[in-house]
Chain A
Amino acid sequence: MADSKRINKEDTGRLLDEWSKEFSVSVPSRENGMPAMLPWDGKDTSFLEWYRNTVIPPKANFFPPYEKMFDFQKGAEGYHLELPPSDKQKQLIFGIRPCDARALTILDTVFQDTYQDPYYLSRRANTVLVGLGCTNPYDSCFCTSLGISPGESTDVDLMFTDTGDGFFIEPVSDKGRELLAATGGLEDGLEADEARAKDVKEAAYRKITRRIDTGDIQQRLAACFENQDYWEKVAAKCVSCGICTFLCPTCYCFDINDELSQDEGTRFRSWDSCSFPIYTRMPMENPRQEKWRRVRQKVCHKYWFYPVNLDITACTGCGRCIRLCPVNWDITQTLNNLPASS
């Protein structure tokens, strides 16, 4: 197979070591309790055993939960604003799943739309994504309904497939091809590896059994948009905790606030959520005070408004909003049971 490579699993640490010379390498880590893509400690590759997917989506590596936008300081000449030093360090994320890589492609569209978001986009430009195909998806996963294959990705630079004892490595982008050419110690991929990888990818695809019906989804949402009874019913058990949005790999809403001590401080942004009534609250009124309006907004934004504006559905079927919801709210049920009309 042209361009492809192979590596034994026990050599993964050596490979990450080599990449660490050029990149700040992040890998799946449980260091902070919740699995996330965190800087590699230079030794531990045990994630190869336990990793199915992270809880904190990789969007956090590009759009962190809390992020300094600039510092301000009041001096004799008035206010001075200081941007954080631009991070020139090249990043490499190892092991990103196809759903989460797609999520970054989705986020690119909003952060580039008309006004460029300098913080997110500079990190994206500095980062190489090394994908790792799923072999053991969760039963909450429904990526195949969103046109994603759990074993394949066009949204990464390099793609790894677990072939048992080792990985079959395929370049996806030019960036990935260059990296692969510059990486030493890899054997050329064999036909047998490619055949094995194909089986693994197909097996993973078959393991995704949860489905949503995406046919005419915009029209079907429009048809029941004013069906308050339905939205009240699906919103009934929601506790408005915002977990489904914070842990969604494509949710990007944020708040902007200041911190001040004496005459200097920081403007920062932090993740926000359409689950919270305060998110839209104005002094005199609130367009989404009622919970059912907020749940409706979340669902319609992902499957209707976002695709209308940016030509891509803002969901990857990663299933986090299902498996991490404290009250078992299930977006696939909400979408599959849409009433035909208001």
Chain B
Amino acid sequence: MTTDVSQRFLARDNVYLPHIAVIEKIIDETPGVVTLHFNFKDEKLREEFTFKPGQFGEYSVFGIGEATFCISSSPTRRDHLEFAVQRVGKVTNALHRLDVGSEMGFRGPYGNGFPLDSFAGKNLVFVAGGIGLAPLRSLIWNVIDDRDKYEKIDIVYGARSPADLCFKYDLDAWGNDSSINMVTTVDKGDASWTGREGFVPQVLEQAAPSARNAVAIVCGPPIMIRFTFPVLEKLGFTPEQMFTTLEKRMKCGIGKCGRCNIGNLYVCRDGPVFSFAQIKGFISSEY
């Protein structure tokens, strides 16, 4: 396998040509979100394909178009790949209409992914909101499958309501894992909700994970991210200890089509994972 990123997993030497993939399973996460499990049709690629947590792909519904999603499964679990889709536009609606057995296109993996090697030996604090858990669950499962390499794990996850909680099967599994400190919260509960209520940043502040030898990985709606960073700073995290993954409108995924830049950085090519130190150094607030 070549180490040259630009040559990896190319279909017929053309970086814009997708691989054909088949939907193997569909999980309804919330009324607007599904997780799709898929595998490549090409068996060789199925065996060789690797990626890093935090990397993304360009997914095609032929005749409708392409859209960008992170790979939400862990590279340590090779049986199939997963991604989660919120129904918001043309392509995401078309993805929601796919059935098990349907074919779609996939290009990738693109982007930098999380700096997993630098997380070894550290306490990990995961903070996520809504479908923002998708890129983090790739990382969390990777870490769990390599549990000895990491110290304490804290997860704070929230959604607007109990119905908006994604990946409930993961939340259960992590809640039952004695090596993980799992906190789930909703902004507002319903009649049957017995768990925690409160916004993610506040719940994080109450959980108060130590910044000592720790990194925090944050993903969620922009408003949640904006309120979470100050809380982490208050807990003693430095900007170098905080990471997030940014979302931008993308088309090519490989730094050519132009639209996902923040100054001279392209979220597709230089990101999508950035430390808060990097974000503070961005020349503009256009993120």
Q: Which residues of A contact B (CB under 8 A)?
A: 69-70, 72, 74, 78-79, 81, 83, 110-111, 113-118, 222, 225-226, 252-260, 265, 267, 269, 272, 274, 279-285, 287-288, 293, 297, 300-301, 304-306, 308-309
Contact with A along B8-29 (1 / 0, CB 8 A): 0001111111101010000000
Interface size on B, residues (CB 8 A): 46
Residue in B60, B103, B221, B286 whose CB lies within 8 Å of A78: B103
Establish whether residues B254 and A114, one from each chain, have CB atoms under 8 Å apart when the complex forms: yes
Distance in Å from the Cβ of A27 to the closest Cβ of chain B? 29
Contact with A along B255-287 (1 / 0, CB 8 A): 111111111100001000000000000011011
A73 to B105, CA, bound (A): 13
Establish whether residues A81 and B20, one from each chain, have CB atoms under 8 Å apart when the complex forms: yes
B89 within 8 A of A: yes
Q: How many pairs of A and B residues are in contact by the CB < 8 Å rule?
A: 126
A282 to B287, CA, bound (A): 11
Establish whether residues A258 and B64, one from each chain, have CB atoms under 8 Å apart when the complex forms: yes
Residue in A79, A114, A254, A305 whose CB lies within 8 Å of B62: A79
A269 to B256, CA, bound (A): 12
Establish whether residues A255 and B5, one from each chain, have CB atoms under 8 Å apart when the complex forms: no
Establish whether residues A117 and B15, one from each chain, have CB atoms under 8 Å apart when the complex forms: yes
Distance in Å from the Cβ of B72 to the closest Cβ of chain A? 18
Which residues on the A side are within 8 Å of B287 (C-beta)?
287
Determine the residue in chain B with the shortest Cβ distance to A305. B264
Q: Identify 6 residue pairs between A and B in the complex whose beta-carbon atoms are under 8 Å apart, listed by A's number.
A: A78-B22, A81-B20, A255-B251, A258-B63, A287-B287, A309-B264
Establish whether residues A69 and B20, one from each chain, have CB atoms under 8 Å apart when the complex forms: no
Q: Assess A118 versus B62: contact at CB under 8 Å? Given A222-B283, A253-B259, A283-B88.
A: no
B197 within 8 A of A: no
Which residues on the A side are within 8 Å of B15 (C-beta)?
115-118
A254 to B264, CA, bound (A): 18
Establish whether residues A281 and B249, one from each chain, have CB atoms under 8 Å apart when the complex forms: yes
Which residues on the B side are within 8 Å of A225 (C-beta)?
283-284
Which residues on the B side are within 8 Å of A110 (C-beta)?
255-256
Distance in Å from the Cβ of A227 to the closest Cβ of chain B? 12
